Structure 1
Amino acid sequence: MFASATTTKLTNAFATGSDLGAKFRAACAVTTRPETVKRSGMTIENLHGMSGRKCMLTGKKANNGRTISFSHIRNKTLQQVNLQYKRVYWPEQKRYVRLRISTNAIKTLNKLGLEEMAKRAGLDLMSLPYIDADPARKEWQAENGAAPTKQNKRAPKGPKPLYIPKWKEAQLAKMDAAAATAEKKRFAEANNMVVA
């Protein structure tokens, strides 16, 4: 009896267009479903090879299977997809792109082409790691030197100020002034330090 009274109140609130009904309709309008790939029924976010063993172009993933023994005991197992890391040539951009794809997708690549399969899968090829294969780019690099390299942020930023540990100070105290200065200079050069 209580449940039916509550449901009639809610139905009346939605029908009359009260404040509660408007809030509910607004909340429903805001939430949107992620865009899905028609062939495999997977979201685009999952196709980029970062979430488990999935083919980046076809969306194939593991199949549930069973191993059955001679005594008919069933054990659950996964029939994994035959995934390979493959460097595929992208002729439109003249570059090699590294993909994790199934062997079935490798066969389909020869029929459809890389760009068509990536379009169907919703995969952004420009965001993937690549190797240039453009002859014009190679000529430019030969004329102007090597391609720019990424800087190592953790590399030392030049010589450090001189720091002498206590054991070394004890050794220097036993030497005369000229020998101590020469030893201090040698120690600084060996450890990439600057004598102040």
Structure 2
Amino acid sequence: MASLRSAGALPKLGSTQSTFRGLSAAFQRVSISSPPQLRHQLNITASRVCDLTGKKANNGYNVTFSHKRNRKLQQPNLQDKKVYWPEGKRWVRLKLCTKAIKTIDKRGLSVMAKEAGINLWKLPFEDARSERTEWLATHEHNPPMAKDPRKMKNPERLAASKKTPLVARYLSGKVVYIREGSDLSEL
């Protein structure tokens, strides 16, 4: 270390004798610069914020009889709502405060969404077009089945088997698994 210091590799600004095991330590003055700038800023959105108006929690106090103040958050009255959007012919899911629900009735959903910078086409929705409801009424709507990794792969054994595969069906809003060819009326 002494050879490095004499060669000029380590600047000697100050040294002290340490009482801890008799070691000599050199201290340098370090200038603290500003932290490096982040290239990507994270946009963290709070969960309890109105989608259209941006209302969020307000700082407040619970004041006791002795006038002690205990901090609390006054949360907005948020509701998860499906709102009908007539231009898109769909029901759109939004998290709204009750004030925004009243304002939608007055001003319209598309005007408020444009002011809030929300693209209504990208939100979760339920289709309300008449063509879609007619198609759903005429076609049988069955839930999707997961692939079975234990399914028989040998076609001869599969043909010889007396069991029929399970199929998923809707029964009063719930998914029920039944054997292929049997009726729902048996349940």
TM-score in terms of structure 1 length = 0.52
Which of structure 1's runs of 4+ aligned residues deviate more than 4 A?
Answer: 31-34, 146-149, 188-192
Structure 2 residue runs of 5 or longer lacking an equivalent are: 1-36, 155-159, 167-187
Distance 2:72 2:104 in 1: 29
Structure 1 residue runs of 5 or longer lacking an equivalent are: 1-27, 35-42, 163-184
1:14-53 CA-partner distances (Å, limit 9, x unpaired): xxxxxxxxxxxxxx9xx7999xxxxxxxx7x74xxxx310
Partner of 1:181: none
Instruction: Choose from 138, 141, 156 the match for 2:136.
Output: 141
Aligned residues: 124
Task: Give 1 or 2: higher strand fraction.
Answer: 2
1:39-91 CA-partner distances (Å, limit 9, x unpaired): xxxx7x74xxxx31000010100000001100011000000000001111111
Instruction: Choose from 32, 37, 52 the match for 1:57.
Output: 52
Aligned residues with identical type, % of pairs: 44
RMSD of the TM alignment (CA)? Answer: 3.5
SS of match in other structure, 1:136: helix
Instruction: Choose from 98, 102, 120 the match for 1:125.
Output: 120
Partner of 1:101: 96
Task: Give 1 or 2: higher helix fraction.
Answer: 1
Task: Using the TM superposition, give the Cα deviation of residue 189 of structure 1 relative to its aligned residue in structure 2, in angstroms.
Answer: 5.2
Closer/same/farther in 2, CA of residues 191 and 139 from structure 1, 3 Å limit: closer
Closer/same/farther in 2, CA of residues 133 and 68 from structure 1, 3 Å limit: same
Partner of 2:72: 77
Larger RCO: 1 or 2 (CA < 8 Å, sep 6+): 1
Closer/same/farther in 2, CA of residues 33 and 159 from structure 1, 3 Å limit: closer
